[in-house]
Every structure is written in C-alpha cells, then in structure tokens.
Homo-oligomer: A and B are copies of this chain.
Amino acid sequence: MLTESQRERIEIVLVAPRNPLNIGAVARAMANFGFSHLAVVSPYIPHWREARSAVGAPELLRSAREVATLADAVTDRTLVIGTGTLTHHKPEQPVISLPALAPVVAHELDRDGRIALVFGPEKHGLTRKDLSWCQAFVEIPTDVRQPSMNLGQAAAVCLYELATRVSTSDTETERARNAPPLQQDVTDPTVSGDLDILAALVDEVMVAANYSPLAMREANRHTVRLLLRRLKLHAADQRQILGLFRRILWRLRRSPKRNVTNRLF
C-alpha cells in the first residue's frame, strides 16, 4: 500500500478534457483511492468551470492546477506515464500493461521520484505529440472488439491498480527488488522541465547550424524529445550536455558569416 507521502508524489494530469461529467468522475475516483493532486491541461473553460463548481465536487477538484501545456504540467516530474488503450498505432515509448505497472511505480517512488499519470482527451486519447513527453505508455488491456474506455472508468481502473498493488521498500522490499527498472538505477533523476530546456537548446542549435530547415523543425523537435527521454539521464548528465550545447550555440552565433558546421569539430 502507498503511504500518504508517496501519494503526494503522484499527480494525475488530464489533457484537454471536454465533458464536465468525466472530469468529475476522474476527481471522484481520485478521492476514492486517496489521490489528491490533479492538473488539467488546456481545458475547455466553460465545462471546466462547470465541473469545478458542481455540487459534491471533491475538494481536490477545486484545488486542481490549470496549466497551458502538458510540458508545463509535468515540468517537475521524473517519470511521466501516458495512459490509453492500444488501437491504431503502437506508441514510440515502451508499452507497459497496466497489471505490470506497479513495480515500475514502486521503483520510481523508492528513488524519490515524482510521477505524472497522464490521460488524454475523450475523443482520441493522447496524441503522438502528447506522448513525446512520456517515458512510458501504460496500456489498459481491453477487449479488441470494444477497446476504447470511458475517461472516468479508465482513471478508476488505473488508480485502483496503483492504490492496491504498489509495494515500495517502505512497506515491502521483495517486490521492489524484483522490479524491472524502467530507468536504470539513477539516483539523481532528471525532471521533465530540465529535459525540455535541453531540448529547446538543441533545437536552437539545429537551426543555427542549418541542420533543421523550417519544414522539418517540428518533426526534429519531436525526435529530440523522444531521444532525451530514452537516454535516462542523470541530472548531472543533463547539466553537462546543456553546457556543451550552450557553448556550441554561442560559437554558431558568433560566426554567422563563416562555415560554422566545419568549425565545430
């Protein structure tokens, strides 16, 4: 079972939810299973206000954070997990079946990480772009004939799983020891926001180096986001790479007239 302080380090993130009933249902499932931190990304404002002011809305809905982008929502997280059911295309992230999620979460909590569990909009779920901020994709194993779940029910199932099946070394050492580590044993994990800072710098460098023509810029940004999340960087690594790219960018901009790419090596 999760302790109170462990639950404090798990946040639920809803990306662009539309239906106020669904928002309320997610909040209720959170209260049922003892989770209290909710962030809502770019909600449709009238429906969001309606959900928050609904009679019987749990307190956690009133204290939920409203943020503009998913990147902002997860900026202080060390493990960002997208959720959904597998339909059309396989995500670019490692896929974990929900019944196998508990050891991954336990491992992250044991190394003092902070987790975001991200749910997509009702219509289509998380986009490929949304998922580029996620280190892993959790699949709820549903029937192929009716794979798509209601948002409130999907949240209830995921939170039930976390509330009942995560055993950390605080409570039980056995499972955590056997946990298949999603990330290697990084004692000093990098938060999502620092990866974004590095990604933005790399993007600038690619432009400055004429590596990234305008038409390819968005695709390259996507690739870099994914790459940085695969690397399992220590925070110290992130700082070192950041320093390198700052230097590169400075050099690229200092010598606009010359053939800068040759001078880098």
Q: Which residues of A contact B (CB under 8 A)?
A: 21, 25, 28-29, 31-34, 58, 98-99, 140-143, 145-150, 152-154, 156-157, 160-161, 163-165
Kindly state the separation between the CA atoms of A45 and B105 in the bound complex, as whole angstroms: 45
In the complex, which of the residues A143, A153, A161 has the most CB atoms of chain B within 10 Å of its own CB atom?
Answer: A153
Cβ distance A125 to chain B, nearest Cβ, rounded Å: 14
Nearest opposing residue in chain B for A21, CB measure: B21
Contact B156 A58 (CB under 8 A): no
Q: Which residues of B contact A99 (CB under 8 A)?
A: 164-165
Closest chain-B Cβ to A102's Cβ sits at a distance in Å of 11
Contact check, A160 vs B157: say whether CB atoms are below 8 A apart.
yes
Q: Among A32, A140, A142, A164, find the residue whose CB has the most chain B CB atoms closer than 10 A.
A: A32
Q: How far is the CA of A23 from the CA of B181 in the complex (A)?
A: 40
A/B interface sample: 16 pairs, CB < 8 A: A25-B150, A25-B152, A29-B149, A31-B143, A32-B142, A32-B146, A32-B149, A32-B153, A98-B164, A140-B160, A141-B163, A141-B164, A149-B156, A150-B152, A152-B152, A152-B153
Within the oligomer, what is the number of copies of this chain? 2
Least CB distance, A14 to chain B, in whole angstroms: 16
| A98: chain B residues within 8 A (beta carbon) | 160, 164
Contact (Cβ within 8 A) A33 B142 = yes
| Docked CA distance A160–B99 (Å) | 9
A13 to chain B, nearest CB (A): 19
Alpha-carbon distance between A65 and B149 when the two chains are bound, in angstroms: 24
Contact residues in B for A32 (Cβ distance below 8 Å): 142-143, 146-149, 153
* Cα–Cα distance between A34 and B148 once the two chains are bound (Å): 12
> Residue on B with the closest CB to A143?
B34
Q: Contacts A153-B25, A153-B153, A153-B156 given; indicate if A31 touches B146 (C-beta within 8 A).
A: yes
Contacts of A33 in B (CB 8 A): 142-143
Cα distance A34–B160 in the bound complex, in angstroms: 19
Contacts of A140 in B (CB 8 A): 160
**Contact between B58 and A146 (Cβ–Cβ < 8 Å)?**
yes
Q: Which B residues are CB-close (under 8 A) to A154?
A: 156
B contact residues around A149 at 8 Å (CB):
28-29, 32, 156
